[in-house]
Amino acid sequence: MSIDIDTAHRVAKLARIAVDEADLPALAQELSGILGFMEQLNEVDVTGVEPMTSVTPMRLKRRADVVTDGNIQAQILSNAPDAREGFFAVPKVVE
Amino acid sequence: MSSANTLTIAQARDALRARTLSAAELTEACLTAASDAKALNAFVHDTPEIAQAQAAAADARLASGDAPALCGIPLGIKDLFCTRGVPSQAASNILAGFKPEYESTVTQQLFDAGAVMLGKLNMDEFAMGSSNETSAYGNAISPWRRAGSDAALTPGGSSGGSAAAVAADLCLGATGTDTGGSIRQPAAFTGIVGLKPTYGRCSRWGIVAFASSLDQAGPMGKSVRDVAIMMGAMAGHDPKDSTSADLPVPDFEAALTGDIRGRKIGLPREYRMEGMPAEIERLWADGADMLRDAGAEIVDISLPHTKYALPAYYVIAPAEASSNLARYDGVRYGHRAALVPGDGITQMYEKTRAEGFGKEVQRRIMIGTYVLSAGFYDAYYRRAQRVRSLIKRDFDMAFADGIDAILTPATPSSAFGLGEMVDADPVAMYLNDVFTVTVNLAGLPGISVPTGVDAQGLPLGLQLIGRPWEEGDLLNHAFVLERAANFAAKPARWW
């Protein structure tokens, strides 16, 4: 599977990473190279093989459905690039 | 006593308990060594005040007779671990300025055991790399040099700062993390010991996530015993990580009996790569002889799906990374790009992520995005997870046949020069993980032990792979190998 410029553009868009138009051909080529390397997986017969989901069969732990913390607004906002009046601030989302 | 920073953890523990050395003196020796070694760029955030306070508290505990094994032992902490109030950036610009409000479980457990934190250690950005060249802090540099050359070498990656700091005696041990080889490859490149535990043995809580089904924290140290001591404090169930195993933590140090008579060691034929350097071949054969001389039986085994491990890894790891790294959006923490009038929230995301992530991280996010995108999920991610089942089954069958441990080279070569791989295609760099990545996919414990030097005087390591949850047994095999190899080379000081 080789990746063309349009696909590279679409992937960058989906990943929310700005890529200059001028850089798209090189990106497409790089991604194609890596995907080419992955093509080897098609040689493997995986008929009847379940995808691996855990290392050893282990029941996922359950925990009590209770509140264990809270009232830490200042801590939660302390690393925000822009926090105002107790909220995370972002550019206008709705016109 | 020669400088205390050159001690092993076991030696320092005994001296601290005998009160012939104080934690304050030991910490001071390490802080001095670290500040004299800026040229290595191993420590990227120094925390001398924390270290001195922890050392004073450790001395008080030692005086009262309450001295767990790590009490007063100075460690370096990989930047991937969140440490309360201390920059924790995963070597990325996107986390510039981030100071966690909480402590990772592993570092908390180390501190509870009395360990002293000297500072945060360099690494590849988000642990994505094999040479520490993708770090926002710049390259970490190996204390080792080729004989007769002053070319700067890589300490390996992604735990490159950890490896450089331990090898150069800036700390007694360090934490690392290993997603595809990031503890074992740098350990091999710098002549130290590095253990990747069974997936689930150490809590991942508070460790910046790369690929959640593969990431595992582990110790890096100067000896197998030191790694066993650290492991005892790092391991254990954590309710905050639902994938951490609720199993008792054995006394790993007590497992070091040095007796492996009658044990069966497998040599997987698929690890005999075409074009493998003769030095690596010899190292591997010598290692097998050492274990045989110790009374083990050496058996040829087959792990037929080995060649598919790297391509499966480079589907699974980027896929999980693209999901994990979606959280870096410029809203809650870290970097946010400067916006121009008219920019909306999408531009904020796109500009922030373009500025904050380095090239390799962007590349992996985009590969992961592609393989998870509509129409490709089955062809790539699901297929890779099925191949992963087959890779794990290969190991299961070997162990079911009575194999106790598997011996392989740790890396395909000794350390390469910084910058030497710049023009190579990304896949060439990925090949560094060829012997280590299978272990992450299968979730097994693996350890790298230095056993020799190459013609240029650079360290080479062998890897032992163990049964799940049997780190104690694995460490014992490594202990035998370490004693037999008697690796004593140290880098000549130039920094």
Strands A87-88 and A83-84 come out as antiparallel
Which residue matches tokens 């004073």?
Answer: B56
> Which residues on adjacent β-strands are paired with residue B267?
B300
Q: What is the pLDDT of residue B2?
A: 65
Question: Rounded to whole angstroms, what are the CA distances from B323 to A14, B297, B317, B442?
Answer: 11, 45, 10, 21
Q: Which amino acid is it at B149?
A: S
Q: Which residues pair with B46 in a beta bridge?
A: B119
Q: Which amino acid is at B43?
A: F
The DSSP secondary structure of B382-409, one letter per residue, reads: IHHHHHHHHHHHHHHHHHHTT--EEEEE
Does residue B419 belong to the interface with chain A, where contact is any CB pair within 8 Å? Answer: no
Place of tokens 């080479």: B460
Q: How far is B3 from chain A, CA to nearest CA, in Å?
A: 40
Q: What is the distance between the alpha carbons of residues B320 and A33, in angstroms, rounded to a whole number?
A: 20
State whether B367 and A35 contact (CB < 8 Å). yes
The answer for residues whose C-beta is within 8 angstroms of residue A57's C-beta and 6 or more apart is none
Q: Which of B22, B78, B223, B264 is catalytic?
A: B78
Reference B137, options B178, B101, B109, B95; nearest CA is: B95
Catalytic: which of B22, B131, B135, B158? B158
User: Is residue B241 very low, low, confident or very high in pLDDT (cuts 50, 70, 90)?
Assistant: very high
- Per-residue model confidence (pLDDT) at position B424: 79
pLDDT for residue A59 is more than 60: yes
pLDDT score at A1:
61
Q: How much is the pLDDT for B334?
A: 97
For A81, B179, B423, the CA distances from B69, given in Å and listed in that order, are 41, 27, 46
H or E element, residue A85:
none
The answer, for B330 touching chain A at a CB cutoff of 8 Å, is yes
Closest by Cα among B161, B100, B103 to B133: B161
Q: What is the dihedral of CA A59, B372, B387, B402, to 10 degrees?
A: -40
Closest CA to B463 of B255, B184, B130, B131: B184
Beta bridge partners of B299: B266
User: What is the average pLDDT value for chain B, to the nearest integer?
Assistant: 96
Cα B198 to Cα B126, B178, B440, B462, distances in angstroms: 21, 11, 9, 18
The kind and range of the H/E element at B464 are strand B459-466
Distance, in Å, from the CA atom of B90 to the CA atom of B190, rounded to the nearest integer, reads 21
CB B304 within 8 A of CB B393: no
Question: Phi and psi at residue B222, in whole multiples of 5°?
Answer: -85, -15
Q: Is the peptide bond before B158 cis (omega within 30 degrees of 0)?
A: yes
Nearest by CB to residue A46, choosing from B329, B336, B383, is: B383
Predicted confidence (pLDDT) per residue in B175-189, tens digit: 999 999 999 999 999
Q: Which of A55-64, B91-100, B372-381, B469-478 shows the lowest mean pLDDT across its residues? A: A55-64
C-alpha span between B230 and B251 (Å, rounded): 11
Average pLDDT over residues B193-200: 97
Beta carbons of A19 and A12 less than 8 angstroms apart: yes
Selection from B287, B214, B270 nearest residue B394 by Cα = B270
**Lowest-confidence region among B42-56, B104-118, B270-284:** B270-284
Which is more confident, B447 or A37?
A: B447
What chain A residue is nearest to B101 in terms of C-alpha separation? Answer: A75
Per-residue model confidence (pLDDT) at position B1: 45
pLDDT tens digits for B378-419? 999 999 999 999 999 999 999 999 999 999 999 999 999 999
The token pair at B255 is 């497992």
pLDDT at A95 over 90: no
CB contact under 8 A, A72 and B101: yes
Residue from the list A18, A31, A40 with its beta carbon closest to the beta carbon of B367 = A31
Question: Which of B22, B131, B135, B182 is the catalytic position?
Answer: B182
Are B357 and A15 in contact (CB < 8 Å)? no
* pLDDT attached to residue B427: 80
Instruction: Please indicate whether residue B159 is annotated as part of the active site.
Output: no
Q: What percent of chain B has pLDDT over 90?
A: 95
Closest CA to B115 of B56, B55, B64, B48: B55
Q: How many CB atoms lie within 10 A of CB A23?
A: 12
End-to-end CA distance of chain A: 40
End-to-end CA distance of chain B: 22
Q: How far apart are CA B429 and CA B425, in angstroms?
A: 7
For residues B189 and B183, what is the distance between their CA atoms, to the nearest angstrom? 10
Nearest CA in chain A to B430: A34
| Nearest residue, CB atoms, A41 vs list B198, B308, B389 | B308
The answer to whether B405 touches B466, Cβ cutoff 8 Å, is yes
Which chain B residues have a beta carbon less than 8 Å from that of A23? Answer: none
pTM of the model: 0.97
Determine, for residues B373 and A63 on separate chains, whether the beta-carbon distance falls below 8 Å. Answer: no
Computed on alpha carbons and rounded to an integer, the radius of gyration of chain B in Å comes to: 21
Residue B363 touches chain A, beta carbons under 8 Å:
yes
Residue with tokens 């070597």: B91
Sheet architecture: strand order including B459-466: B43-46, B116-121, B74-78, B173-177, B217-221, B193-196, B446-453, B459-466, B405-409, B264-268, B297-301
Q: How many CB atoms within 10 Å of residue B150?
A: 7
Looking up tokens 């802080």, which residue turns up?
B31
Q: Residues 240 to 259 of B: which have CB under 8 A from any A CB?
A: 242-243, 245-246
- What mean pLDDT comes out for the span B431-455? 96
Please give the Cα distance from B359 to B365 (Å, whole number).
10
* Residues of A whose CB is below 8 A from B312: 41
pLDDT tens digits, one per residue of B334-343: 999 999 999 9
DSSP designation for B252: T
> How much of chain B is helix, strand and coil, in % rounded to 5?
40, 15, 45
Q: What is the pLDDT of residue A63?
A: 83
Residues of B in contact with A91 (CB under 8 A): 339, 343-345, 347-348
φ, ψ for residue B449, nearest 5 deg? -125, 130
- Mean pLDDT in residue range B315-323: 97
Contacts of B388 in chain A (CB under 8 A): 51-52
Query: Which amino acid is residue B420, in one-letter code?
Result: E
Q: Which residue has the tokens 């520490």?
A: B132
